[in-house]
């Protein structure tokens, strides 16, 4: 039997055990240790822009702390991209605030600057100036940061850049994760590099990083005894996980190259498939790590749809998934305000994430290509109105 082809599986480089073994040999099994400090330095060096990085237990934890540092609290509103994973919105609710969702634009599938400005103006008119903006780099594609930052600056609202999917991507040569007051990184098992679980908060001042570290270690005051003047969280990354991360950092650039080659592979095989389009950079300002390669399918032109392909893949034990269901369409957020048109909804109804791992083999690619060629060459009869 053929082995399963995963959507995005971990890809070890071989050096991870070196750092993990060092932790065992020196008995640094406690939550903190040299690997945490080393991993943070590695990330700061990679991102540049004089960043300060706090390694945490997840990207969700990083976003939660970023919102706290932006003084988001009960009754506040935070603008959030609708086309994203729920982890971009959930921490807003943790704090008793309300997410205000904004549609995507068609070029990058990320937050539409026009809809963003409309949302800010309307919320202010209703007496609720948003406390923060959460913009996402979807599937590794940088958002239109110049336009989004211009709106944030015009209204003096801090931007939080959710770069959980875009480590290694750049916008106009600058690393994703460094544009907002805070940046969010994720090292979940399916990401471009992994620490098993884990994430990081990207800051631009030592003060902001120290505040994040303080809150992430149960907000313990300076005292010989355990004293707490604020509510804290158990959000710090462990020394063992950070050791995995240090090994992964040694191959990060190679992993980005591997993901981009998968995107090139799909671009090549879909170029003559009528009605099938790759999600790609709109111009040279955008450099995506292509964490996930995604297609849209125009059923009227292709005579097939993205679900036909997903089911065909499934029969051959190949994993693929529909893109994120927009947050404003989710039952849990049905009462949240929404601004924009139907770009995100249309993308959700027509798009599919394809197997994108940097560890896929030539045999895996042959199986994928065979299925895709079969689906889009064997057209079914449909009534086109």
CA distance 333 to 349: 19
Q: List the structure tokens of 121.
A: 């103006």
Q: What are phi and psi of 222, to 5 degrees?
A: -70, 105
Can you tell me whether residue 80 is helix, strand or coil? strand
Closest CA to 242 of 13, 54, 35: 35
Strand residue runs (E) in the chain: 52-56, 77-81, 98-102, 132-136, 159-162, 170-171, 174-175, 182-186, 199-203, 276-278, 286-287, 293-297, 321-322, 338-339, 351-354
Residue 30: the pLDDT is: 73
Give the model's pLDDT for residue 42.
98
HEC letters along 12-34: CCCCHHHHHHHHHHCCCCCCCCH
pLDDT of residue 383: 42
Return the pLDDT at 380.
Answer: 60
Output the pLDDT for position 1.
60
C-beta neighbour count of 362 within 10 angstroms = 7
196 contacts: CB under 8 Å, gap ≥ 6: 187, 189, 241, 244
pLDDT, averaged per 10 consecutive residues of the chain (385 residues), comes to 91 95 87 92 96 98 98 98 98 98 98 98 98 98 98 98 98 98 97 96 98 97 95 96 97 98 98 97 98 98 97 98 98 98 98 98 98 86 43
C-alpha distance from residue 29 to each of 20, 43, 178, 220, 238 (Å): 9, 22, 31, 21, 8
């Amino acid at each position: 039997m053929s082995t399963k082809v995963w959507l995005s599986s971990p890809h070890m480089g071989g050096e991870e055990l070196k750092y993990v073994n060092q932790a065992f040999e020196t008995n640094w099994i406690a939550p903190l240790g040299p690997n945490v400090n080393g991993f943070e330095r590695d990330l700061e060096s990679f991102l540049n822009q004089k960043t300060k990085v706090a390694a945490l237990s997840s990207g969700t934890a990083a976003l939660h702390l970023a919102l706290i540092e932006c003084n988001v609290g009960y009754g506040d509103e935070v603008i959030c991209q609708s086309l994203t994973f729920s982890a971009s919105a959930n921490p807003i609710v943790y704090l008793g605030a309300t997410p205000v969702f904004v549609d995507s634009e068609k070029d990058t599938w990320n937050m539409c600057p026009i809809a963003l400005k409309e949302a800010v103006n309307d919320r202010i008119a209703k007496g609720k100036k948003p406390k923060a903006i959460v913009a996402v780099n979807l599937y590794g594609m940088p958002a239109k940061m110049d336009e989004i930052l211009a709106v944030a600056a015009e209204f003096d609202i801090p931007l939080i850049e959710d770069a959980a999917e875009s480590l290694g991507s750049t916008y106009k040569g600058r690393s994703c994760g460094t544009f907002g007051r805070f940046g969010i990184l994720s090292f979940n098992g399916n990401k471009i590099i992994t620490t098993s679980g884990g994430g990081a908060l990207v800051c631009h001042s030592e003060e902001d990083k120290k505040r994040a570290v303080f809150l992430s270690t149960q907000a313990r005051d300076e005292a010989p005894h355990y004293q707490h003047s604020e509510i804290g969280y158990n959000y710090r990354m462990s020394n063992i996980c950070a050791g995995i991360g240090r090994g992964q950092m040694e191959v990060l650039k190679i992993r980005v190259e591997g993901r981009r080659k998968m995107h090139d592979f799909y671009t090549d095989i879909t170029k003559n498939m009528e009605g099938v389009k790759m999600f790609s950079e709109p111009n040279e300002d955008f450099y995506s790590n292509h964490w996930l390669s995604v297609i849209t399918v125009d059923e009227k032109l292709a005579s097939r749809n993205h679900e036909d392909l997903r089911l065909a893949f499934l029969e051959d034990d190949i994993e693929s998934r529909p893109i994120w269901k927009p947050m404003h369409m989710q039952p849990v957020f049905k009462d949240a305000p929404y601004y924009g048109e139907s770009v995100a909804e249309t993308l959700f109804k027509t798009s599919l994430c394809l197997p994108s791992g940097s560890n896929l083999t030539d045999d895996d690619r042959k199986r994928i290509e065979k299925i895709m060629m079969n689906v889009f060459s064997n057209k079914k009869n449909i009534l086109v109105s």
